[in-house]
Amino acid sequence: MNDVLQIIVKRLGLGLITLLVISIIIFGAVELLPGDLAQAILGQAATEETVAAMREELGLDRPAPVRYFAWLKGAVVGDFGNSLASGIPVTELIGPRFKNTLFLAVYAAIIAVPIAIMLGVLAALYRNSVFDRVANVLTLTSISSPEFFLGYILVLFLAVKNSLFPAISSLSDDMSLADKLHRVFLPALTLVLVVVAHMMRMTRAAIINLLASPYIEMARLKGTPQRKVITHHALPNAWAPVINVVALNLAYLITGVVLVEVVFVYPGIGQLLVDSVTKRDFPVVQACCLVFAATYILLNLAADVGSILTNPRLRHPK
């Protein structure tokens, strides 16, 4: 157990270092953007005095390292400042949007994970069969298609030609859960089509790799039924790579929803990021990017911990 705790602490420390490096990249990328932020806010008709006053109000007159550490100090305690476009605290803008993004990601995951694992197991069990080949073709097609293209195809067939679901996934607090699930179905289905393909192929590869192991051959030589070989011998040892794949795809569901949210005008954090870039609302942009990075790192850490806990060889690396 001590080995597991040491590995978790080590991975957590690496995650914090990674997040620190990403925060530097985020802040530096915003600093490298062309143009004067104060001038952009006030417009071309602003005088030099008003621009200088605005730069002082925004703290732009201070050196970049000083502003970075001030921003980082606030980010650690959850204070990202105020939005330049609305004046509202950034955390108040991000909170409801991130909640909506989590709702969409969980909705897609509940559909995608069991389907992907089941299809991966069946494709490995019936390797090189017609089912396996058809599944591979469909998953490769889904992986090769951009999310926005899949989204527009679904809108065309399920919203325009057949009015089964709304093309715009707007939400409100007074909606019931059934109404929310109905409105969010198309963006969730778009994510499901991409995520199922990745998880199904990785699950299939993990199961096929285990089926070539000596203990699987021994079980077959003993006359163990194929279904029991899969459920009792292959699957328990395949959980580590499968959990890793599932956690990484959950990270994609949360951090890779920007295009999907834009296509369906979904009020999530991805849509907020795009709107803030358009308005040059840099405090919101920086906060959204940092939230995405922290979420991805945490889910990667969860994938590592899940793999360690389900694989004795990783728990005792010596």
- Please tell me the distance from the alpha carbon of residue 93 to that of residue 97, in angstroms, as a whole number: 7
| For residues 260-268, average pLDDT | 89
- Residue 202 vs residues 166, 195, 205, 208: alpha-carbon distances, Å: 33, 11, 5, 10
Would you state the pLDDT for residue 6?
79
What is residue 1's DSSP assignment? -
The DSSP code for 149 is: H
8 A C-beta contact, residue 203 and residue 186: no
- What mean pLDDT comes out for the span 91-113? 90
Torsion angle defined by CA atoms of residues 180, 186, 187 and 189, in that order, rounded to the nearest 10 degrees: 110
Identify the pLDDT of residue 185.
92
Give the number of other Cβ atoms within 10 Å of residue 16's Cβ: 12
pLDDT score for 317:
55
Averaged pLDDT, 69-94 = 86
Structural domains of the chain, with CATH: 100-280 (1.10.3720.10)
Mean pLDDT of the chain: 82
Residues 308 and 49: their CA atoms lie apart, in Å, by 60
pLDDT-derived band at 312 (thresholds 50, 70, 90) equals low
The residue whose two tokens read 């969730």 is 188
Q: Is the pLDDT of residue 204 over 70?
A: yes
- H or E segment and range at residue 286: helix 282-310
pLDDT at residue 222, rounded to an integer: 83
pLDDT for 223-240, tens place per residue?
888 777 777 777 777 777
Measured at the CA of 51, the angle between CA 50 and CA 56, to 5 degrees, comes to 95
Q: What is the pLDDT of residues 132-187, one digit of tens each?
A: 889 888 888 888 888 888 888 989 899 888 888 888 888 877 888 888 898 999 99
Q: Label residue 88 left, alpha or beta by phi (over 0 means left) and psi (-120 to 50 means alpha).
A: beta
What pLDDT score was predicted for residue 212?
Answer: 77
Lowest mean pLDDT among 17-31, 34-48, 260-274: 34-48
Tokens linked to 247: 């956690």
Query: Given a cut of 80, is residue 60 above it in pLDDT?
Result: no
Task: Specify the pLDDT at position 315.
Answer: 59
Residue recorded with tokens 């969010």: 184
pLDDT at 1 over 70: no
Residue 292 has pLDDT above 60, yes or no: yes
What is each CA distance from 221 to 37, 213, 218, 232, in whole angstroms?
72, 13, 5, 15
Among 24-28, 79-83, 260-264, which is the least confidently predicted range? 79-83
Torsion sign (Cα): 26, 254, 166, 195: positive
Residue scoring higher pLDDT (183 or 85): 183
User: What is the Cβ-side half-sphere exposure of residue 6, based on CA atoms within 13 angstroms?
Assistant: 7
Q: CA–CA separation, 205 vs 207, rounded Å?
A: 6
